[in-house]
Structure 1
Amino acid sequence: MANSSSVKKTFAHDGKSKRIPVDLTPKGGGFAHRWIRKFAILVSLLAAMVVIGQPWLGSRVDEEIHSQLLAAMKKAMPSAIVNVDSVVRRGNNGIVVKGLEVLLPIDASELGSDVRSFNRLPIIEIEHLELLGKTDYGTLLTEAPVFSEVKVVGGKVRIVRSPEGELNLETLFGGLANSGVMNGDIPTVRLSEVEVLLADARQLGPQELSLVLADGVLVEKSREQVPHGSSTSTENSGLLEVRLQFETELASNLQIQGAISMDDHPSLLTARVDGLLLDEKLLRYLPVDVLDSFPAGMGVRGEAQLALQLRTEVKRDESGASEWTYDWAAAGVLSNGFYSDRRLPSPITDISGTVTWQGNKIRCERLNGRLANSPLTGSIEILDLSSTPAIKASLHADNLRVDETFAQGLTGNGKLESVSRVLDLYSPRGTMGLWITYDSTGLQPKTDIVLDVQDMDVTYAKFPYPFHKVSGRIQVSNKDVEIQQVEAYTHGQRFEVQGSLKDPFEFPTGWLQITADGPVPLDTELVQALNEKTRKTIDVLRPTGLVWLKRLRHEYSGDKYNPKREIDIEVRSGTVSYEQFPYPIHRVEGEIYLRSGIWTFEEFSGYKGNSYIQLDGSLTPLADGDTKLNLELTGTDVDLDEELRTAFSVKNGNVTDLWDQLQPQGALDHLTMKIEKYKSREKPSLYIRGKKWVPEESFATSRVQINPVWFPYSVDELTGEFIIQDGHVQLLDVRGRHDETEFVFDAVSHFNPDSGWDLAIEHLSIDRLAFDKDLLNALPDSLAKGLKSLDLVGQLQLSGNLKFARPTDGPLMANWDLRIGAAGVALTCGPRFNGVYGAILLNGISDNRGFRSKAWLDIDSMMWGNEQFTKLSGPVWVDSKQLLVGRWASVAQSKFEAGNQPQNSEVVRQPQRDAQSMLARTAGGLLGVDLQLQFVNQLRIESGVEGAVSRSADRFLLQASLSGADLRYLARQQEIRERTDGRITGAVRLRGEVGDRSTWSGEGRVRLADADIYELPLMVALLSNLGGNKERGVFSSSEVDFRVQSERFIMDRVALEGDAVSLYGDGWMSFDKEINMDFYSLVGRQRIAIPFINQVVAEASKGLLRIDVAGSLEKPQVNGTAFPELDGTMERILEDLNTRIARPFPNGQQPIIQLR
């Protein structure tokens, strides 16, 4: 090759110098050969110039030689300063020069500077220079002396490289080759004890590198050479044979030998270095800029054996200009090597190998070493040293111990930076095989790395879940990574990692995939390994159990932050509990998928106790950065337990309030829950649908029962369907039982933001409803009190609508629109009614003002005692204070419909005549009833046979009328066997306390028409006292005016009138049918007014008869007195009959039928 290679570096000199290239290439023919030739020429010139053409005169010989020596050296080296201590002739055999010193002038900039400069020291110092030859005076005077040998003993030669990269010897010997003073042969030069000092102006250490030339010989020899263009003639050409033996502390042996051509023919030098020590001492002699290029903290030790060969030749072009060409060849062996720097986790030891250098190629082969007890092998080849070096290198490590420290050591290590990143990405801990190849011979450098993982623990940075016993191969080619069937184990399961990524650290493209052979525990360690977004998704369900990562795949298209992710996860034997509906589901089996950024939960199933539950859902990212979670949970045989209530309570307080109000128990056949939750919204949207099937179709383990707090009436065996959505509750076709009572209804409930709620029960149908203790205890006190007073026995059928509402911090309110049907019930409404068949329509309300309701009775049939009532209809009013029937109820209803509360008075005023009474058919006639029943909030204590008893003190006012009743039917009802016939019309007004006949009082009238009562015991007795006239129809009409007082019917007027005879009288009859009556007979009818009484009595006195009746109604005792005197009693009767005609009711009140 024509040019030497150049490895260029840059440095700054005193902060001001320009950046100058540093040439570290061996100087070949331009340095070694030229220097040795010029040194030999210099010695020859000194020998020749000392004596040439000089007259020698005895005593002045030494001075002349000294002067000539200085002049000759000044001429040969004009830029040098030469000093010589002495020059003496050594007899006739030679000349001895002592203290020869050659140095270059010091630059002015270095004067007075404290900076260390090797240029201040002499370049050449020779202690003893001896020229051997004939030096007798005769020879000196007559001819030029010839020196056959030059000996140099002791001294120093300093070779210094300046900051500009120039060698001082080049400056010193610059003009020596052109001096032209050299004639003749070069004497043999022998050198001994000469110290060669090598230094660089920028070296780290203060001392020069010392090479002691222990023995050296330069001998000129001739050679034959056939000249060009001639085949016969020869020409002698000189060769300078070189043999140099050095001693140095850095090597055990250094030899240089060869032949240097004294003309343009090729020259050849070889060198051998044995036992070269590579350590810190050697580094101290290198320039600082070279040391700066080494890695920080680099440490080197070792021993080398080197052999070098240098061939040089001078080429001349057509113009005659010469150019040196040279070729290097070197070989060496390295042993016991040691290398360390801060990038390596531990030093490389036991380094050995071979090095060859030929031309522009350096090859390092069979390199061996150990890194942390791991064997290393490798090779390096450097090509094209003359221009831009190209490198081919390989490294192989077996059982290389890798951990975090090892990865950190490679950080910032140029070509190995990608290895560092891979190791940092996977955080390996264990052993592996490593193959690294580097090739820069192509257009782009190429780095190939193969990692054979053998037994390693790995934690992938993007999925920091520890894996053990990792094995497989990872290939890195420049910025491309291939992961080939890497296997790993965790929790006893095998995982496989594969991938192919290009430029994975900047703009990755490719894919990475992880699969597992089976499930692993879904513990905190696994959840924390997921990325934040995935972890938040998983945390939503708070899962535990076993999960099988069937596939985790990342596909990159240039954006390392947004890969296309696909995840397939199977859950086994798990537990999930949605954080905002924490209802734990156990033994969960299901699959989770991630596609296009959407998580889906499919075919999830599990158990909660005896409940079988299925779950599906999705988590979808939205364009505005929000996310939407959809979950649908379907369960069968779902227990209505405390855990389900707690799940509702987290984000659905209204549902919890309803739960607490209803207090459900049991299990549902089917439950569906749909949850929709936006990340940006605090509360989720909740849709719940539950079903309870009829027992024949149900497979639930228990029945459903509710016991509402606000209506503590338990309903069991519930079936039907309910829907809960965003504060609204809907019940559909709900059926239930309470003992024998059956319920069917729909319902709608709303929960208000202010914690209030309302409930509307629609299409209510209750069959066999009993007014038992459970129902009365559940009703509001005011309503229960009124219904309890009815003492209702039997079962009712109820249908209609109910509404309940509880405002915030307010009492429960209710209203109703109901139809109550009765089939044979018994109740007390003043009197006791039995066998009630029919219906009542109710419409009322209960609020903070109490309970009130209007009603319409439509009774087909009922019994009062033994009396049957049919086609009973009319209005009823009931509230917390009273029960009103008939026209009084109509008054209250009109006020209620007008929005006015009925007045709380003891007596309701007499209604208008157009108001309707309670009407009924009975005994063949028409019965009209108006009733007031005042509820008194107290009990009356009474003493009886069984001791003191308490009863209600409720008060009543009864107004009734009967028209056209069948007297025969009524007699038969009273078990009267005698023949009776006729029609009866009457009216009564009665007041008092319910159940206490002693408090009853009132008045009334009874009329008989077409009556046939002559076989009644009382009539038989009366007629027998009238002379035995027993003809029927003796009385054509009968009237009785009576009062009720002290448990008696006080008959103020009794009139039995006939055409022939009439009976008039008064008396009383007890409630037990005891009688005491007085009658007077008159002839004909007595229809005259009071002014004519005396006349009538006077005219008919002969026919008068007095009859006294006592005993009982069934067994009357009759006594008659004929022609009595008109005593005071008779006069009183007649006067009373006169005054009582058309007497009104007390207090100005009007009866339903006017009593006369």
Structure 2
Amino acid sequence: MAGGLYFYNHVDDELRRRIEERFAQHYPELQIKVHAATLIPGEGIEVRGMTITQPGAAGPRVEVARFDEMLLACKASLSELIQHEPEFTEIRVRRPTLLATRRPDGTWSTGELLPFPQISEKPPRIVVEGGTVEIFDPLRNPTSKLSLRDVYLEVDPGVGGDNPESTTRRLHGFMVGDHVQRLEFEGELGDGGKQWSFRGTGEGLDLSPELYAALPGEVAAKLDVLRSLRASSQFRFSVQNSPDDASAIEYDLQGKIARGRIEDSRLPYPLTDVFALVRCTNQGVHISELRARNGQTAIYVREAWRRGNEANSPLFANLQCERLVIDRRLLDILPEQWRARWYDFFLEGIVNVNAIVHYDGQSWQPDVSVECLDTSFTYHKFPYRLENGQGHVRLKDDRLDFLLSTYSGADQVLIQGNVQNLYQDPGLWLEVRADRLAIDKKLLESLPPTSRAVLTSFSPSGHFRVDFEARRQPGPQQPVSRRLRLQLDHCSMRYDRFPYPIHNVTGTVEMLGDEWEFRNLEGTNDTGELRGYGRLGPTASGRELRLNISGANIALEQELRNALPLHSQRLWDNLQPRGSVQLATDIRYQIDTKQLAIGVSALPVAETVSIQPVFFPYRIENIRGELSYANGRVVLGRAPRGEIKGQHQGVDVALRGVCDLAPDGRWRLALDDLTVYRLRADRDLQAAVSPRLNPWLRRLDPASAINLSGRVELLGGGAGNQPPQAQWNMRITTQGANLVAGLPLTNISGEAHLQGGFDGAKMSARAELDLDSVTWKNMQITSVTGPARVDGEHILLGAWADKDLPQGRPRPITGKAYGGWLMSDGWVKLEATPRYGWQITAGDLDVARIGRELLPGTQSLSGKLNGGVNLRGSTEGIHTLTGTGYMRLRDADLYQLPQMVQLLNIVSLKPPDATAFTNSEADFRVDGDHLYFDRINFTGDAISLKGQGEMNLNTDVALTFYALVGRDELEIPLIPELFRAASRQLMLIHVDGKLTEPSIRRDPFPVVGKALEQLQADLQNGAPPKNPQRLGLLSPRNGSARRGGWGDRANPQSIAREPARPAQSERKGGLLR
């Protein structure tokens, strides 16, 4: 009784202990703790606070399960429990917590709970209410935890006999969780829990990165898509362990995704409105009816699958994209080999895509059709971007076909072709056509550096038609053949090496391989028309550009001048050409060495071309002949067209020569065959010559013409605006020229040889005269020869020109006149008012010829005349003229002269005969327009006359003579027009008036008195009259008379500025007395 009472009082504790033992026997590796157990008669045993732990478990969470309340239903009473084991019909568990923790070995802690404990002979029905399942994976980084709540589970007793190990138990239930609204499931457990399978459905499953983070690692690895997916889904699933390997799990998950959004770094942009049917199994993933959008892009996946879950698992996709935006962001989802091709073309734009893609684990087999709606792209080797592309592109396996219509700006470009063996040693056919394409910066920057440099050097603009074709056969080391044909359409260009602008350019440019050919090029520049052809390609010395350009009616204007090299521009500036020419230009440019060679040939257009040199501004017009340029040399008058010819108001110029142009701007012009016909000293020539020569050039009669021929060399282009240096060797011929250079010279005919030069500051020249005829004062002088020289300050003639010769005697200028000879020397001082000196000596002049040619009437004169004159003056006027002279007449019959007959009658001689006067002498001085006769002697056998006086250039005379009986041996000056009959008595004779009609009167000897004595004394002493005014040369009405000899113009200070005179011993004719 006492024992029974004790058991009754401790029955609950005993039940608790026996329950712990029963579970511990089933789970020997686990630790079972029961807080309390109570027998409820008629219902069963109620267990509270039961925990199952795994002592010594590796990792966190040794607790496996926790049961707040468990009812073990049975009909046993207390006595029955004491007597035998109860038969439980149901186990009802309320608010259990199942803690599934992944162990370091990959197993789960809950795996220790299977199979379920055997607490009765027949498996009871199990009901779980309000349960919680926590799935914890500490092996994942970071750790993951997934909680399922409100778990309801029913496990039926099972079928299969009395052996629990062979009993298959069915279960079903539902639950909710953090990421699922409701999960219903059912399944079977067999073989004592070793075999199991489950299936079920889920609603309101929120697929998200948070769900991905909560999943165990091995499950998350197979659902990587959840990292970027947010969607609501419904699904059904089945999962079981393998019959052959209980640890191997087989699963089949099928679901529907709706209202999804995918944001994946592997995608170029987020996808929204995602809908798809998805099935995941151990064999892979299968997707169908996938739809998604991104802005205007719509994506349709009819079918896609991946067999396996490895990185190289085979996959297949059949998809369609509408208005897919292609840009750099799309690169990341492309296979590597496709990505490399994208960089070849930099494709962007909007396309429609139909793609069937298969990957066998090693290679891709694509069949992609692309409809280009609005695309742009550029080829990396020719980065000329094309836009607004429309057309079709198809990639099937390793073959790419394309047909596109694109635009560059407003210009359409058609592209078609294909690529075979796309991924290795491809074959290529490409054709590009454009009817009109702009030459602009975009095009130039697309060319390879070498081609760009060449084409940019032409500064091209305008439009052209293009036809391009490229071909390559498949296989290793196969060359690419390229052919490009450009048809220029009213383009413009300006070559920087010869920047002459050309407009309206048409023609053909063709590239074949590495060679370019230019054909039928035509263009204009104002009225000029140009044609050309050329080539760019390899030569033995490297790549060379060669252009041949011919031009018609090319204007010689500033544009052409600016196109020339610097040295040519300076020559142009010095010559100032105008007009139009025909051009032929040969341009060669070595691209590797950057060496340029330009050859130019020019022919003036008839009657249009002229030049007016800056250094000699004498305009030459109507220039004809060929001019050529090559390698810095200009050739003037190249054969066979002969010489260069031009005109200036009746003056003809012809020449041949060369002009060498140095890179620093200097130039050398050598005219080896210069000829000038009919050159006149007109105003144009006077304005062109040096200011020092201008006053003397004015003294040439403008109607007089001279001819020049010989060689001229000019050097110019130095620093500053210095005039060119010059050298010349010329032959000058003239016929009938007139010159006033101190003394008037007319009817000059003959030639002179002129050599000299100009050093930029001073001119020096030497001439040899060889004149046929010169007229002075109606006196013709023939065979005029002798030297002349210009030294920059003087013009020197005769001995003055020869005085500095290292050897030989100075030579005068010599000539012939009236059967005799003449010698002359002279100089001109080149200053503001030029001064000059002139010395002439005459000998053996035939008086008879002088009489016939100079004196009126008929005379039978004879005799020889000798004389000389030394004159000095300036171009200021005749009033500056001074000098001295003399005349000697021998064996002359002066009695033939009418004036002499009149004079002889005055002195009352008998009619004149051969013994009248035979010799005469006169010494005179020149002062302005006056001649002062210091001594005049007429000597004859019967009578002699002596006198003195003066005369002006108007032939007004004032002479005084006295007569002597018999021959006087003194010198008698000759004044040929002063003779009149004289009486036989000695007397003074006065001659006044005009020389041709003199008034002669006598003054008897007694009347003259002292005057006669004084006159005789003066004549014997050779002195001038002490009072010349007594001679009455000019009356007041005729102006004041000039007096004196050299005056101020002969003072030492004045003579010091004149050239040094030759030594007296070197002179012929004794001019300096």
TM-score normalised by length of structure 2 = 0.79
**Distance in 2 of aligned mates of 1:236 and 1:71:** 20
SS at match of 2:230: strand
State the Cα deviation string for residues 792-836 of structure 1 (Å, max 9, x = none). 641110112223345546665433221111111111244322222
1:412 aligns with one of 332, 343, 347: 332
Say which of 552, 565, 569 aligns to 1:636: 552
Q: Deviations over 1:402-447 (max 9, x none)?
A: 154xx32x3434x555666666765655431224444332643545
2:457 aligned residue = 540
Once residues 691 and 462 of structure 1 are traced to their aligned partners in structure 2, the CA distance between those partners, rounded to angstroms, is 43
Amino acid at match of 2:582: D
SS at match of 2:693: helix
Alignment partner, residue 349 of structure 1: 272
Q: Does 1:286 align with 2:180?
A: no
What's the CA shift for 1:960? 1.7
Distance in 2, Cα, partners of 1:791 & 1:1053: 37
Residue 1032 of structure 2: aligned partner? none
- Distance change >3 Å, CA 929–CA 185, structure 1 → 2: same
**Counterpart in the other structure of 1:381:** 305
Match of 1:219 in 2: 157
Residues of 2 paired with 1:103 and 1:861: CA distance?
Answer: 153
Find out whether 1:575 has 2:488 as its counterpart: no
Find the counterpart in structure 1 of residue 400 from structure 2.
Answer: 482
Query: Judging changes above 3 Å, is the alpha-carbon distance between structure 1 residues 862 and 134 closer, same or farther for their aligned structure 2 residues?
Result: same
Match of 2:50 in 1: 100
* Deviation digits for residues 696-745 of structure 1 (CA, Å, limit 9, x no counterpart): xx7xxxx2232222222222223344455676555443322222212222
**Residue 957 (str. 1) matches residue 873 (str. 2):** no
Out of 493, 501, 504, the position equivalent to 1:587 is: 504
Equivalent residue for 2:413? Answer: 495
Distance 1:396 1:278 in 2: 23
Write the distance in 1 (CA, Å) between the matches of 2:28 and 2:10: 26
Match of 1:520 in 2: 437
- 1:551 aligned partner: 468
Q: How does 1:812-891 map to 2 (within 5 A)?
A: 812-847=724-759, 850-891=762-803
* From 472, 476, 484, the counterpart of 2:391: 472
Give yes or no for the alignment of 1:670 onto 2:583.
yes
Equivalent AA in structure 2 for residue 613 of structure 1: L
Spell out the pairing of 1:1000-1149 with structure 2 (5 A cutoff).
Answer: 1000-1009=882-891, 1015-1018=896-899, 1020-1021=901-902, 1033-1034=914-915, 1037-1044=918-925, 1047-1048=930-931, 1050=933, 1052=935, 1054-1055=937-938, 1057=940, 1063=944, 1065-1066=946-947, 1070=951, 1072=955, 1074=957, 1076=959, 1078=961, 1110=991
Tell me the secondary structure at the aligned position of residue 220 of structure 1. Answer: coil
RMSD (Å), alpha carbons: 5.1
Q: Which moved more, 1:1128-1137 or 1:568-577?
A: 1128-1137
Letter in 2 for 1:659: W
Identify the residue that residue 440 of structure 1 maps to in structure 2. 359
Aligned residues: 1000
Contact 2:817-2:845 at 8 Å conserved across structures: no
Aligned position for 1:945? none
Identity between Structure 1 and Structure 2 (%): 19
How far apart, CA to CA, are the structure 1 residues paired with 2:636 and 2:937? Answer: 66
- 8 Å contact kept, 2:822–2:842: yes
- CA distance, structure 1, for counterparts of residue 225 and residue 85 of structure 2: 61
* Residue type at the aligned position of 1:484: F
Query: Are the equivalent residues in 1 in contact too, given 2:41–2:75 (CA < 8 A)?
Result: no
Does structure 1 retain, via aligned residues, the 8 Å contact 2:417–2:428?
Answer: yes
Which of 904, 928, 931 is 2:825 aligned to? 931
Please name the residue that 1:195 is paired with.
132
1:600-749 correspondence to structure 2 within 5 Å: 603-614=520-531, 633-648=549-564, 652-670=565-583, 672=585, 674=587, 676=589, 685=596, 687=598, 689-693=600-604, 695=606, 703-723=608-628, 729-732=634-637, 733-749=643-659
Q: Structure 1 residue 916 and structure 2 residue 858: aligned?
A: no
Question: Match of 1:78?
Answer: 28
Partner of 2:147: 209
Are the equivalent residues in 1 in contact too, given 2:351–2:375 (CA < 8 A)? yes
Distance 1:1122 1:282, change over 3 A: closer
Counterparts of 1:462 and 1:746 in 2: how far apart (Å)? 54
How far off is 1:148 after superposition?
4.2
In structure 1, runs of 5+ residues without a counterpart are 1-55, 111-116, 225-234, 315-321, 899-911, 940-951, 1090-1101
8 Å contact 1:280–1:301 — kept in the other structure? Answer: no
Aligned-partner Cα distance in 2 for 1:918–1:202: 132
1:540-596 CA-to-partner distances (Å, cap 9, x unmatched) read 233332244433869899999x99987654443333233454433222334555666
> Is this contact kept in 1: 2:823–2:840, CA < 8 A?
yes
Counterpart residue identity of residue 693, structure 2: L
Tell me the equivalent position of 2:350: 431
2:658–2:670 Cα contact (<8 Å) kept: yes
Contact 1:750 1:758 in 2 (8 A): yes
Q: What is the alpha-carbon distance in structure 2 between the residues aligned to residue 798 and residue 290 of structure 1?
A: 114
Residues 960 and 989 in structure 1, CA contact (< 8 A), matched pair in contact too: yes
Unpaired runs of 5+ in structure 2? 1-5, 638-642, 972-982, 1023-1044, 1051-1062
CA distance in 2, matches of 1:373, 1:852: 93
Instruction: Report the CA distance shift for 1:555/1:865 in structure 2 as closer, same or farther (over 3 A).
Output: farther
Q: Give the C-alpha shift of residue 686 in structure 1.
A: 6.0
Relative to 1, partners in 2 of residues 1:823 and 1:653: Cα closer, same or farther, differing over 3 Å?
A: same
Specify the SS of the correspondent of 1:541: coil
The alignment partner of 1:982 has SS state of coil
Q: 1:627 to 1:81 in 2, by over 3 A?
A: farther
Query: Cα–Cα, structure 1 residues 163 and 259, in superposed 2: closer, same or farther, change >3 Å?
Result: closer
From the superposition, tell whether residues 158 and 326 of structure 1 become closer, same or farther in structure 2 (CA, over 3 Å): closer
8 Å contact kept, 1:193–1:212: yes
| Cα distance between partner residues in 2 of 1:801 and 1:300 | 101
Structure 2 CA distance, aligned partners of 1:325 and 1:1131?
A: 177
Give the partner amino acid of 2:569. Answer: T
Instruction: Output the CA distance in 2 between the equivalents of 1:60 and 1:307.
Output: 49
Q: Which one is further off, 189-198 or 660-669?
A: 189-198
What is the identity, as a one-letter code, of the residue corresponding to 2:136? A
User: 2:412 is aligned with what amino acid?
Assistant: R
Deviation at 1:481, TM superposition (A): 7.8
Q: Secondary structure at the match of 2:332?
A: coil
Match of 1:949 in 2: none
Residues 1041 and 135 of structure 1, relative CA distance in 2, 3 Å threshold:
same
CA deviation vs aligned residue, 1:720-776 (integer Å, no higher than 9, x gap): 444556765554433222222122223544566776555433321111111122222
Alpha-carbon separation, structure 2, partners of 1:163 and 1:502 = 54
Q: Which moved more, 1:836-845 or 1:788-797?
A: 788-797
- Is structure 2 residue 71 aligned with structure 1 residue 129? yes
Say whether the 8 Å CA contact 1:746–1:762 is kept in structure 2.
Answer: yes
Kindly tell me: are residues 338 and 1005 of structure 1, through their superposed partners in 2, closer, same or farther at Cα, counting changes over 3 Å?
Answer: closer
Q: 1:621 to 1:689 in 2, by over 3 A?
A: closer
Task: Provide the rounded CA distance (Å) in 1 between the counterparts of 2:670 and 2:999.
Answer: 67
